[in-house]
């Protein structure tokens, strides 16, 4: 059990999703900015990674925030303990956990996220 837990922590750290990292290379750079501009111009559907300000829309405000990250050399994908992050949690389904439980975890996460208003 300890091995499984340790493996889960390591794998989730390696494959964490970062809002704004559109090419999923674990960093914010000009290629992410290019992808976001293309997404806005082409009016592509909403993408969780492109909604940087978490308003459920991909628009010019997300572009401004991403541009600010790049110009100020800020990488919100770097996780530091005790600091606020915009990295979304990952959910893993297994055969021994019912989907109802996973949906409850997602629901409680959303309640906590909105209560903490980040």
pLDDT of 98 reads 82
pLDDT of 68 reads 92
Which domains, and CATH codes, for the chain? Answer: 2-116 (1.10.1330.10)
pLDDT of 70 reads 92
Say yes or no to pLDDT of 88 above 80: no
CA gap 99, 49 in Å, rounded: 24
Say yes or no to pLDDT of 61 above 50: yes
Rg (CA), the chain: 16
Percent of the chain with pLDDT over 70: 74
The mean of the pLDDT values for the chain is 78
CA gap 40, 117 in Å, rounded: 25
- Scanning 1-118, the segments in alpha helix (DSSP H) are 2-14, 30-41, 60-71, 99-116
- Nearest alpha carbon to residue 88 among 64, 68, 65, 118: 118
pLDDT of 80 reads 67
Say yes or no to pLDDT of 11 above 60: no
The owner of tokens 């993408």 is: 47
pLDDT of 8 reads 44
b/e 22-39 (16+ beta carbons within 10 angstroms → b): beeeeebeeebbebbeeb
Give mean pLDDT, residues 38-67: 86
C-alpha dihedral sign at 78, 80, 84, 86: positive
């Amino acid at each position: 059990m300890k091995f499984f837990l340790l493996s889960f922590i390591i794998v989730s750290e390696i494959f964490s999703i970062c809002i704004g990292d559109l090419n999923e290379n674990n960093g914010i750079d000009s290629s992410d900015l290019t992808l976001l501009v293309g997404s806005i111009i082409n009016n592509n559907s909403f993408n969780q990674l492109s909604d940087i300000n978490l308003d459920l829309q991909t628009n010019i405000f997300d572009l401004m925030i991403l541009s600010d990250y790049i110009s100020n050399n800020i990488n919100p994908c770097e996780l530091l303990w005790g600091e606020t992050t915009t990295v979304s949690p990952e959910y893993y389904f297994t055969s021994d956990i019912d989907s109802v439980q996973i949906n409850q975890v997602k629901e409680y996460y959303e309640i906590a996220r909105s209560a903490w208003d980040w």
